[in-house]
Chains A and B, each alone.
Chain A
Amino acid sequence: MKLLVPVKRVVDYNVKVRVKADNTGVETANVKMSMNPFDEIAVEEAVRLKEKGVATEIIAVSIGPAQAQEQIRTALAMGADRGILVEAENTEPLGVAKLLKAIVEREGPQLVMMGKQAIDDDMNATGQMLAALLGWSQGTYASKVELADGAAKVTREVDGGLETVNLKLPAIVTADLRLNEPRYASLPNIMKARKKPIETLKPADLGVDVAPRLSILKVEEPPKRQAGVKVGSVAELVAKLKTEAKVI
């Protein structure tokens, strides 16, 4: 079975982002970029499915700037077989889902394994939107995935605990944090990944209109909190919470 794994190039999760002075967005020039952490988990799960003999080929796909090649190379170094880069910037989840749908129809995977959300726009939407456009089942926030007999049994992280659903294949599964611990790519694998093929496309090659539906009117710093005080003892803390903050 073929697996498709979409990966996104995002500002590294350790970077404290800064809002641009003109309020048009956040500063992304000269900022460290990486693969979205949830996508690393999705790649890892795909590679494990291949190691178990369930998957035969893993295609890593990224929709983003030319530099998103780096994130595809990372996926290839982790164990993906080949890559597809669709060069399109600032695409919204709906546009990304439409591009992915076109790639799914071309490549014919039985499972799309992806992250539950990207840590830049925090949308948490692309997987569900792709499932809708394809008419496929969806297993979001997966913490466990078992494939057998044309179905995927997915344990999902929901608000009160865990829930298990059975999905007919083909399906979309989105990875939650606890699905697995992604591996580090070894140096020999990074070298080998350089030789694996990456195909580059434009949205027009796939016949997809990715015109945005949302316009960002402004991006601001969130309201700052007032500087607090350090207290010297538990008694002082409790006294302040009672009389000053009046919360207990």
Chain B
Amino acid sequence: MAVLLLADRSGNIVSQPTRSAVAAASQIDKDVHVLVLGGAEAAQAAAKLPGVTKVIQADGPAYEHGLAEPAAALLVALAPNYSHLLAPGSAMGKNIMPRVAALLDVQVITDIAGVESPDTFRRFIYAGNALATVKTSDGKKVLTVRAASFDPVPAEGGTAAVENAPAAEDPGVSAFVGAEIAQSERPELTAARVVISGGRALGSAENFAILDKVADKLGAAVGASRAAVDAGYAPNDHQVGQTGKIVAPELYIAVGISGAIQHLAGMKDSKVIVAINKDEDAPIFQVADYGLVGDLFTIIPELEKELG
């Protein structure tokens, strides 16, 4: 039986976590169907993903903003044709899939980091400090996928047909009011090849901006620790960690971040980790490939200069 993947779109494109989820879905079954809520252009983009055999597009105001209640009802209506229902572990996927699972009376498995077999998956628990292998006895499997654990499929190469979703009931218990989406010219945090993150030691929002110049030179996304976000130095959606975003870039530069368990949960799969901190006993140095002990306010401008 085929697997159905709920896409997360950012505007007219499918998000990178969705492409990682396609890679995970392909490990379960060769027949991968993608459901796109709203967004005809995003549906066309999904049809080009290698490994995708069919795209189902759902139009209508109830789907435009990915509200959980109508989206879950639609997934449940489609479920009889599928053995697995998946979504990327984005805010949208995590909001919708547990609801779908409960409606189908199955236990959701969130943030899978590996596929052992069609009913056995690996996932991290305790903020990434333990890796559990779990086998489900449920007939239908409902999953979300940890993007950092699967290499995304390329954006081009497939040629799937797009069809319209069947009509499903909208429970009509919720309505979208508005959104404030942070504007950023930089690469998306979860998709960036290089991430530079700042912590409490930056001291202020103005000081935090010194990371921008280095980020520009490296083509990096800017992240933050919870302490920096709580202090108002960086917006919420910059937070890297157990409760924020999980990233696994090629290079992660942690500046003035001590390295609490909850922060490490969000970045310790990075290929190369650099720590810049004045406290040589900071826990971040235990996971860093390269550590530099010193004052970030002298090191960061120097680093910017050195990068040319």
A74 on the B face (CB < 8 A): no
When A94-B106, A161-B180, A248-B194 are in contact, do A125 and B98 touch as well, CB less than 8 Å?
Answer: yes
Q: Is the CB of A245 within 8 A of B125?
A: no
Query: A residues within 8 A CB of B110?
Result: 122-125
Query: B residues within 8 A CB of A168?
Result: 172-174
Query: A residues within 8 A CB of B98?
Result: 93, 123-129, 132
Query: B residues within 8 A CB of A141?
Result: 91, 95
Q: Is the CB of B133 within 8 A of A234?
A: no
In the complex, how many angstroms separate the beta carbon of A139 from the nearest chain B beta carbon? 8
Query: In whole angstroms, what is the CA distance A74 to B133 when docked?
Result: 33
A70 on the B face (CB < 8 A): no
Query: B residues within 8 A CB of A97?
Result: 102
Q: Mark B268-305, 1 if CB is under 8 A from A, else 0.
A: 10011110000010000101111111000001001100
Q: Is the CB of B101 within 8 A of A94?
A: yes
Within 143-159 of A, Cβ neighbours of B (below 8 Å) are at: 143, 153, 156-159
Query: In whole angstroms, what is the CA distance A137 to B171 when docked?
Result: 9
Q: Is the CB of B131 within 8 A of A219?
A: yes
Q: How many A-B residue pairs have CB under 8 A?
A: 257
Q: Is the CB of B177 within 8 A of A125?
A: no
B291 touches which one: A125, A143, A229 (CB < 8 A)? A229
| Interface-facing stretch out of B19-27, B41-49, B62-70, B197-205 | B62-70
Q: Is the CB of B92 within 8 A of A158?
A: yes
Query: In whole angstroms, what is the CA distance A16 to B287 when docked?
Result: 15
Q: Is the CB of A167 within 8 A of B102?
A: no
Query: A residues within 8 A CB of B262?
Result: 13
Q: Is the CB of A153 within 8 A of B177?
A: yes
A30 on the B face (CB < 8 A): no
Query: B residues within 8 A CB of A94?
Result: 101-102, 105-108
Q: Is the CB of B135 within 8 A of A247?
A: no
A135 on the B face (CB < 8 A): yes
Q: Is the CB of B236 within 8 A of A225?
A: no
Query: In whole angstroms, what is the CA distance A195 to B307 when docked?
Result: 65
Q: Is the CB of A216 within 8 A of B133?
A: yes
Chain A interface SS verdict (over half): mixed
Q: Is the CB of B290 within 8 A of A157?
A: no
Query: In whole angstroms, what is the CA distance A121 to B130 when docked?
Result: 10
In the complex, how many angstroms separate the beta carbon of B86 from the nearest chain A beta carbon? 15
Q: Is the CB of B237 within 8 A of A214?
A: no
A11 on the B face (CB < 8 A): yes
Query: A residues within 8 A CB of B131?
Result: 219-222
Q: Considering residues A218, A219, A234, which has the most beta carbons from chain B within 10 angstroms of its beta carbon?
A: A234
Q: Is the CB of A140 within 8 A of B292?
A: no
When A216-B134, A228-B288, A245-B289 are in contact, do A122 and B174 touch as well, CB less than 8 Å?
Answer: no
Q: Is the CB of A245 within 8 A of B272?
A: yes
Query: In whole angstroms, what is the CA distance A237 to B108 when docked?
Result: 44
When A129-B99, A215-B135 are in contact, do A122 and B288 touch as well, CB less than 8 Å?
Answer: no
B132 touches which one: A177, A219, A231 (CB < 8 A)? A219
B230 on the A face (CB < 8 A): yes
Closest to B252 in A: A247
Q: Is the CB of A237 within 8 A of B290?
A: yes
A57 on the B face (CB < 8 A): no
Query: In whole angstroms, what is the CA distance A79 to B236 when docked?
Result: 29
Query: A residues within 8 A CB of B245?
Result: 159
In the complex, how many angstroms separate the beta carbon of B35 from the nearest chain A beta carbon? 18
Q: Is the CB of B177 within 8 A of A238?
A: no
Known: A221-B131, A222-B124. 17 other contacts (CB 8 A): A19-B129, A26-B129, A97-B102, A122-B124, A125-B101, A125-B110, A138-B69, A138-B95, A157-B91, A157-B236, A157-B237, A160-B181, A164-B179, A177-B243, A222-B131, A228-B288, A230-B293
Binding site for B on A (CB under 8 A): 11, 13-14, 16-17, 19, 26, 92-94, 97, 116-117, 119-133, 135-141, 143, 153, 156-168, 171, 176-178, 212-222, 225-226, 228-231, 233-235, 237-238, 240-241, 245, 247-248
Query: What are 10 sample pairs from A and B whose C-beta atoms fall under 8 A apart?
Result: A119-B242, A122-B124, A122-B242, A124-B111, A132-B102, A141-B95, A159-B90, A163-B176, A225-B287, A245-B272
Binding site for A on B (CB under 8 A): 10, 65, 67-69, 72, 90-92, 94-103, 105-111, 120, 123-138, 171-182, 190, 194, 218, 226, 229-230, 235-237, 242-243, 245, 250-251, 261-262, 268, 271-274, 280, 285, 287-293, 299, 302-303, 306-307
